[in-house]
Amino acid sequence: MRIAVVGGGPAGLYFALLMKRDWPALDVTVFERNQPDDTFGFGVVFSDQTLDTFKTADPESYGAIVDNFAYWDDIEIRFKDTLHRVSGNGFCGCSRRSLLMLVQERCRQLGVTLKFGEEADDIEALKRNFDLVVAADGINSRIREGWRERFRPQVDLRPNKFTWMGSTRPFDAFTFFFKETEHGLFIAHCYQYEVGRSTWVLETDPETFAKAGLESMDEAASAAFLEGIFAEELQGHRLITNRSLWRNFPMIRCESWVSENVVLIGDAKATAHFSIGSGTKLAMEDAIALHRAFGKAKLDVTAALSLYERTRREEVEKTQHAADVSLVWFEQLRRFWDFDPLRFAFGLMTRSKAITYDNLALRAPAFVAAIDTLVADEVGPTARRKRDGSPVAPAFQPFRLREMQIENRMVLSPMCQYSAVEGMPTDWHLMHYGSRAIGGPGLIVSEMTCVAPDARITPGCTGLYSDEQEAAWARIVAFVHANSTAKFCLQLGHAGRKGATRLMWDGMDRPLPAGAWPIISASPLPYYPESQVPREMTRADMDRVRSEFVTAARRGERAGFDMLELHCAHGYLLASFLSPLTNHRTDAYGGSLENRLRYPRELFRALREVWPREKPMSVRISATDWKEGGLSPEDSVAIAAAFAEEGCDLVDVSTGQTVNDSRPIYGRMFQTPYSDRIRNEARIATMCVGNITTADQVNTIIASGRADLVALGRPHLADPSFVLRAAAWYGVDTPQPVQYQPGKDQLMRNTPREREELTELKLKAKPGRHADAH
């Protein structure tokens, strides 16, 4: 078999050596347009975990690499005259040139043919003359671009500007410097990669870049300017340039990595932002994955390439998602600039979701203890403390909305049960809410409760438009109040164009085959092509629906609810006014965002007028429609601010479900960034929701200032005692009915011992061993 590797970077060279080592008879040639000793950039970074991967893949090159590495364990954050140092991170830096020379030498030893100073971008000739063509030619891959119609790349050019420089200043930690200047904000990501050499990645936003006049500066002038900005941090050392051009980072994704006998690896197929230090890691792990695929496929090219893409894509996309979240944190730095420096540092450490509260508690317990104190101090006199006087974990600190105090930050998310009969909640609902309340959440939010028979989503949805329904809800609320400390929020909504549909398990959002009722919406647009076409609301309809909401709210007050939430999300009636995808009106209620907000604001105002002043109100919104042309992040902030002006106390931040062809990007805590933005730009309390599954994640979100409350749905469905178990884990006493007290006592006895044992195991395994921490 003849193999052509196009690109002599870490990915291409590493793949070549692995293949030649295991199958010496293979003819493996690496084509590199540059000379062997050309060097661009400065250092590369690997985690302990990544080095372990290299050790397994090729012990010989691993040994040579680690002999040339500078190792650090700490991350240091310099922000507003403060210094925070977090240990236990386990990272190594190495000269990019040294790495390339080491891997080149290993390739020569094994008999790989290395051709330098040669362009190899004629795809047709390559695939004709070689059995396998590996495109490892980087971000500007000519092979990828030559076959764009096959690989279908998507490039997201990010707004921040950055440049790579070097210095002779030594570092004993990966160090972040944040500087505010007359021009704006600058960031330096710094680390030592060999004796007497360190990498400086300098980054700034486009406004600062323009104001500083950096566009017109050459490399030397740019370096001199930055030496002035970071004079104190450089400690008398100079900045070194090496093709140190200002650029915008391209986030590259390809729909396909394989075409015929050609495969993309490394930056040619996918990039990950430098702020998580995973570019070279991803590239070399691609090489390992492709090599393993050939081993499993017994050198069958077609089978190996298919296996490679099938098994490797998920890991790459997970890393890219973490990189996306990380880079956005730096792009939106101004949002966090007024944070307490300790919270700023905690947010920086946890920005990509690779590190969480519990991770940090293992590696930097004093840092986490300080965060606990910060959250407790913000709560004030009602902050909860343990017997030794130390504050409880952030998830268990109370939170106040008007005159209502919520005992912890974990919320039972509103989840439709589709189990009502003619709008009447049943014993199922009594069991559902009662058992979860006993489990310990600070707040319970009812499923969307409909304000009229024709406001229901399905025939199984609950309502609050009759005396009988009011009495049934009052029974449930009274049980919750009598047997728990949970507060109970009533969520009111109207299905709009998503009404008259089947139960979730019979075909969610699909129209009823029989018995459907007429539906209304902002515009006459069906949800699915086969869905019922709603009637566009008239002013008379608006008046009627507003009156139905007001009547339901009054019933909710009599039933004893502590809080009221207006559902303006997920494509239901009020959401259909807010989104330009579903509001095509040409009157005063359509067009501009101000107009689209007009009716939802009017309805909220009417509810605020009848809801008791001392009781809080919230609104649930979809912060993005996950579709081009829908709500923008700026829109969601403006919507939140508009409701705040009407007396809203909390924004329940969800996303999507506005149109049937949306394309959400899922992942852990995937909706939290939207809550973060609204909370810290609109300056209103938020509740986040969306694939949040652990109390550790709740602690991370609250401590970093991304939300004030955290709603969990499926975890509560699987475990009604989710909060109680979390309380035992963190050593927090939480109320339980006397009937269940023995179970709580056992949990409180056994869990600390289990946690100690698990912590000991993790410490033995080196808690810093993880990928992409910085």
Which alpha helices (H) appear in 400-513, and where do they start and end? 427-438, 467-483, 504-507
Question: Do the bridges between strand 185-194 and strand 258-259 make them parallel or antiparallel, or are there none, so unpaired?
Answer: unpaired
Which of 246, 233, 238 has the alpha carbon at shortest distance from 201?
A: 246
CB-CB contact of 550 with 563 (8 Å):
no
112 and 30 Cβ atoms separated by less than 8 Å: yes
Beta strands per DSSP E along 9-124: 27-32, 43-47, 70-72, 75-79, 82-86, 91-95, 113-116
- Within 10 Å of residue 209's Cβ, how many Cβ atoms? 21
How many Å apart are CA 562 and CA 557, to the nearest integer?
A: 8
Non-local (6+) Cβ contacts of 521 within 8 A are: 496, 497, 534, 535, 536, 537, 573, 576, 582
Whether 572 sits among the annotated catalytic residues: the reply is yes
Look-up: residue for tokens 């680690």? Answer: 66
φ/ψ of 143, rounded to 5, equals -70, -45
Letter for the amino acid at 276?
A: I
Cβ-defined contacts of 705-708 (< 8 Å, 24+)? 705/336, 705/339, 705/343, 705/347, 705/676, 705/679, 705/680, 706/347, 706/672, 706/673, 706/675, 706/676, 706/679, 707/653, 707/672, 707/675, 707/676, 707/679, 708/399, 708/409, 708/650, 708/679
At 650, give phi and psi (nearest 5°). Answer: -155, 140
Strand (E) or helix (H) holding 334: helix 333-336
Q: Give the residue from 410, 460, 317 showing the smallest Cα distance to 726.
A: 410
Contacts of 275 (CB under 8 A, 6+ apart): 189, 323, 326, 327, 329, 330, 352, 774
Contacts of residue 22, Cβ cutoff 8 Å, sequence gap at least 6: 291, 295
Kindly name the residue from 572, 589, 674, 730 that is annotated as catalytic. 572
Structure tokens at 705: 């200032």
Helix (H, G, I), strand (E, B) or coil at 243: coil
**DSSP assigned state of 385:** B
Cα angle at 190 between 185 and 191, to 5 degrees?
A: 170
Distance, in Å, from the CA atom of 642 to the CA atom of 154, rounded to the nearest integer, reads: 35
Active-site amino acid positions: 572
